[in-house]
Amino acid sequence: MGKKFKHIETELIHKGYDSKELLGSLTPPIFQTTTFTFETAEQGAARFAGEEEGHVYTRISNPTVQVLEQKLAALEKAEKGLAFASGMAAISAVLIALTKANDHIICSSGLYGCTFGLLSMMDEKYNIQTDYVAMTDAKNIEDKIRPETKVFYIETPINPTMEVIDLELVSSIAKKHNILVVVDNTFSTPYLQRPLELGADVVVHSATKYLGGHGDVIAGIAAGKKELMEQIAATTQKDIGGILSPFDAWLVIRGMKTLPLRMDKHSENALQIAEKLKQHPKVKHIFYPGDPDAGGYSIMKKQMKSGGGTLSFEIDGGKEEVQEFLNKLQFIKIAVSLGDTETLIQHPATMTHAVVPYEQRQKMGITDALIRLSVGIEAWQDIWEDLNQALDRFK
Ligand code: LCS
């Protein structure tokens, strides 16, 4: 369990589980149980008092879920990981645990639509206000800091505009002001980027995406220092209760074994597709951090292994043209989510980010012409052929 490996590929497969402890079972058993029996009443009391280690109830801990939590913690270089029923369950548990009424959050200039929805709800209900800030330079951020600022909440790359944020810069500002940095690492995974090593305090994931990787499980994870994670475990995880089921944890564990192979292929394919899209006359802009011409390329090189598997682009036109283009695709699936083996395409303005009011969407750079593409692990030539024929045929 505790063995250290030099390479993340090996850690992904072996960390967090030792078959010797469970009858030699190569893969972790699914502990499909709600509760755990105590040998004596005193033992039960000792477990509840935290005087004796051991499981008591699956909403609090479960051995299969623990394998996933330990694996992810090791990969992110965190002291402790916690698994949740979805990415949103992880994010809400973290943000609610780390703030109280009248606190203030500074957020990256864009983020996933439902996280925007959560932050808006926290403002309405608890007056926890959020400022959305272009985190490209220190002054922009420092100008917005207030005495009640508790958290910097950052997506990098940002969904769906693919802007990247310099995590070392943002974390150094946060440290000076005693502010916690929470980073959504969904698009990169610890294989491409490790925010805690760059100064962040908590990392969150929608494990539904690249970590699971096969489009068959909704899951979320948070990881960070033991003290912070224990606070979250004892409050918002335990008492709100958005925990991950053992079977779903098992699916994520299985998916994660092939993460390096998939991420390398996703990234290679995305780079090829980005190059092709750039040359198409009906494509106006392309946003991919792995593109050497992208504004954030140098930051990507500094903190990521590669640009990842998701990109976005604007076509010449508006909502109708985008819809016509999407409808002309032959095998690429029109669907939200990302990070699956299949290539998925969606229209953020009417789908993932439709909940963000129009004005705010424009400020985030989400125009009606923006399309997000999660490049799968099919042959990139086939992906391009489909995109190309649809681009040629619309309008
Ligand atoms: N964080 C990011 C960056 C996401 O993209 C998503 C979901 C979440 C958190 C929430 O995770 P979930 O609760 O769904 O596991 N993003 C989606 C998307 O772009 N399309 O569909 C879902």
Query: Would 150 be classed as within a structural domain?
Result: yes
Ligand 1 closest atom vs CA 208 = 15
Ligand 1 centroid from CA 221, angstroms: 12
Ligand 1 site: residues with CB under 6 angstroms? 86-88, 112, 114-115, 155, 159, 184, 186, 206, 208, 218, 220, 336-338, 352
Q: How confident is the model at residue 395 (pLDDT cuts 50, 70, 90)?
A: confident
| CATH number of residue 12's parent domain | 3.40.640.10
Ligand 1 centroid from CA 44, angstroms: 38
Are 116 and 355 spatial neighbours (Cβ–Cβ below 8 Å)?
A: yes
Last residue of a domain, one of 256, 284, 299: 256
Please give the span between the terminal C-alpha atoms of the chain, in angstroms, as a whole number: 58
Q: Report how far residue 197's alpha carbon sits from residue 126's, in angstroms, rounded to the nearest whole number.
A: 32
- pLDDT over 70 (residue 216): yes
Query: Would 204 be classed as within a structural domain?
Result: yes
Same domain, 244 and 374: no
- pLDDT over 60 (residue 350): yes
- Number of folded domains that form the chain: 2
- pLDDT over 70 (residue 369): yes
Assign 3-class secondary structure to 97-123.
HHCCCCCEEEEECCCCHHHHHHHHHHH
- pLDDT over 80 (residue 3): no
Same domain, 95 and 108: yes
Ligand 1 centroid from CA 112, angstroms: 6
Same domain, 266 and 315: yes
Are 242 and 259 spatial neighbours (Cβ–Cβ below 8 Å)?
A: no
Q: How confident is the model at residue 4 (pLDDT cuts 50, 70, 90)?
A: confident
Query: Would 40 be classed as within a structural domain?
Result: no
> 288-334, pLDDT tens digit by residue?
999 999 999 999 999 999 999 999 999 999 999 999 999 999 999 99
Q: How confident is the model at residue 2 (pLDDT cuts 50, 70, 90)?
A: low
3-state DSSP call for residue 313? strand
Same domain, 284 and 323: yes
Average pLDDT over residues 186-213: 98
Same domain, 372 and 266: yes
Q: Report how far residue 380's alpha carbon sits from residue 266's, in angstroms, rounded to the nearest whole number.
A: 9
Average pLDDT over residues 231-237: 97
Same domain, 118 and 228: yes
Same domain, 319 and 373: yes
Query: Would 368 be classed as within a structural domain?
Result: yes
Q: Report how far residue 191's alpha carbon sits from residue 172's, in angstroms, rounded to the nearest whole number.
A: 23
3-state DSSP call for residue 358? helix
Average pLDDT over residues 69-87: 97
Same domain, 84 and 101: yes
Last residue of a domain, one of 239, 256, 273: 256
Same domain, 140 and 209: yes
- pLDDT over 60 (residue 244): yes
Average pLDDT over residues 241-270: 98
Average pLDDT over residues 331-338: 98
Average pLDDT over residues 57-77: 97
- pLDDT over 70 (residue 173): yes
Residues 6+ away with beta carbon under 8 Å from 381: none
For residue 89, give Cα distances in angstroms to 80, 84, 173, 204.
Answer: 17, 6, 28, 10
Domain range for 174 is 8-30+62-256
Query: Would 3 be classed as within a structural domain?
Result: no
| CATH number of residue 359's parent domain | 3.90.1150.10
Query: Would 2 be classed as within a structural domain?
Result: no
Last residue of a domain, one of 218, 235, 256: 256
Q: Which of 170, 213, 209 is nearest to 86 (CA)?
A: 209
- pLDDT over 80 (residue 1): no
Q: What is the mean pLDDT of the chain?
A: 97
Same domain, 79 and 216: yes
Are 374 and 309 spatial neighbours (Cβ–Cβ below 8 Å)?
A: yes
pTM: 0.97
Average pLDDT over residues 229-244: 97
Same domain, 104 and 236: yes
Query: Would 42 be classed as within a structural domain?
Result: no
3-state DSSP call for residue 176? helix
Q: Atom 15 of ligand 1 has which residue's CA nearest to it?
A: 87
